[in-house]
Each structure stands twice: as structure tokens, then as C-alpha cells.
């Protein structure tokens, strides 16, 4: 796997403090994914919460789970939501995958980690996120913002938001 920056949790402390520390199911092959989907039938309709852990593995949890729980309280390479479907030949496909996580606030550049984790598990991935989200922390009031329509202004105080990702400095280490 390529070098990738590790990103620590930057979301609400109350959610971090409630985290169970039990990671989501590691999906390293299609058999793992088949078992997880069978054990979580609601995921067929509503999708799932995912993270890519520091070993580059896809981890899944039910859709309404917190990303920090899915990550077992650890830093991640990517986080978001994913939906699975079936191709005509019955293999599992990913028709939708996105990066919304107010806990990790990853930029769309985390796509490489998601694509690599899906490929390693034997699941075809789309060419890029089907919906990509951009998050910035307001330098004036510290509010987490979802940037919409390329408008880099804080929703809470209207201060200008930086164009570059600006959450807490990522952990200094990279994976190898």
C-alpha cells in the first residue's frame, strides 16, 4: 500500500468520550463482506458506515454508527458512508461511496485509501466518490463547516474559511 497520512478524530469530544472502542468488522475479502451483509440486512437499503483503518482495511458498521466507533477509537486513512449492490452476475458492487464524517473531516483526497481497501477486498470501486464533501474548521470560531457550492465561509460566524484542509495537525506518522 502507498504511504498515506493518518488522521486523528477531530469531532465533538462528547462523541469521542462515548466511543465503545470496538472496531467495525474488518473486510479483507468478499467472503467477509458477504458475512457482514448477511448479519446486517438493513445495510442493503440504507448503506453502512465505513472507515479505512491504519492497515488499509475497510471496516464496516451499521449506518447510524459513529465513525470513531467503527475505527475502534483510532486514527483512520478514510471515513464515510457506503452502499452495496449486486451486479447481474451476483457479485457485490459499490454503487455509492462518499466521505461525510464530522468526526474525521477527511478531504476527498482520502479516495486513494478507499479505492485501495475496496480493491484489496475484491470489490469493484467507482472511479471516485459518488459524493465528495469538503470540511473546514473556522479559524475565527473553531466551528466545523461543510463547504457547499465552493463557498468558503463559516456558517456560524461568516468568517472566511481556508482553502486547504486545516483540522488538528495529522499524526506525524505515515503507514507503509
Total-model pTM: 0.89
75 within domain boundaries: yes
170 within domain boundaries: no
Same domain membership, residue 62 and residue 44: yes
Q: What is the residue range of 149's domain?
A: 134-165
Same domain membership, residue 151 and residue 94: no
175 within domain boundaries: no
Q: Which of 4-8, 9-13, 172-176 has the highest mean pLDDT?
A: 9-13
Say yes or no to pLDDT of 35 above 90.
yes
In order of 4, 58, 124, the CA distances from 120 in angstroms are 16, 9, 10
147-156 pLDDT, tens per residue? 999 999 999 9
In order of 31, 33, 135, 157, the CA distances from 71 in angstroms are 21, 17, 19, 32
Same domain membership, residue 22 and residue 32: yes
Say yes or no to pLDDT of 20 above 90.
no
176 within domain boundaries: no
Q: At which residue does the C-alpha cell 459524493 appear?
A: 131
Same domain membership, residue 140 and residue 128: no
Mean pLDDT (whole number) for 157-170: 86
Confidence category of residue 172, pLDDT binned at 50, 70, 90: very low
72-93 pLDDT, tens per residue? 999 999 999 999 999 999 999 9
99 within domain boundaries: yes
Say yes or no to pLDDT of 176 above 70.
no
Mean pLDDT (whole number) for 126-140: 96
Same domain membership, residue 151 and residue 71: no
Same domain membership, residue 103 and residue 33: yes
Total number of domains constituting the chain = 2
Confidence category of residue 171, pLDDT binned at 50, 70, 90: very low
CA distance 89 to 91: 6
Amino acid at each position: 500500500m502507498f504511504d498515506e497520512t493518518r488522521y486523528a478524530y477531530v469531532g465533538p469530544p462528547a462523541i469521542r468520550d462515548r466511543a465503545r472502542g470496538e472496531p467495525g468488522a474488518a473486510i479483507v475479502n468478499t467472503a467477509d463482506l458477504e458475512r457482514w451483509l448477511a448479519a446486517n440486512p438493513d445495510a442493503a437499503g440504507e448503506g453502512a458506515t465505513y472507515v479505512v483503518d491504519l492497515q488499509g482495511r475497510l471496516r464496516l458498521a451499521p449506518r447510524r454508527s459513529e465513525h470513531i466507533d467503527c475505527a475502534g477509537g483510532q486514527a483512520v486513512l478514510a471515513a464515510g458512508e457506503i452502499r452495496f449492490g449486486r451486479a447481474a452476475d451476483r457479485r457485490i458492487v459499490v454503487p455509492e461511496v462518499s466521505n461525510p464524517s464530522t468526526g474525521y473531516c477527511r478531504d476527498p483526497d482520502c479516495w486513494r485509501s478507499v479505492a485501495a481497501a475496496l480493491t484489496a477486498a475484491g470489490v469493484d470501486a467507482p472511479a471516485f466518490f459518488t459524493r465528495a464533501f469538503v470540511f473546514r474548521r473556522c479559524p475565527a470560531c473553531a466551528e466545523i463547516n461543510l463547504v457547499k457550492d465552493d463557498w468558503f465561509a463559516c456558517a456560524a460566524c461568516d468568517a472566511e474559511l481556508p482553502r486547504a484542509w486545516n483540522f488538528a495537525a495529522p499524526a506525524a506518522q505515515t503507514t507503509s
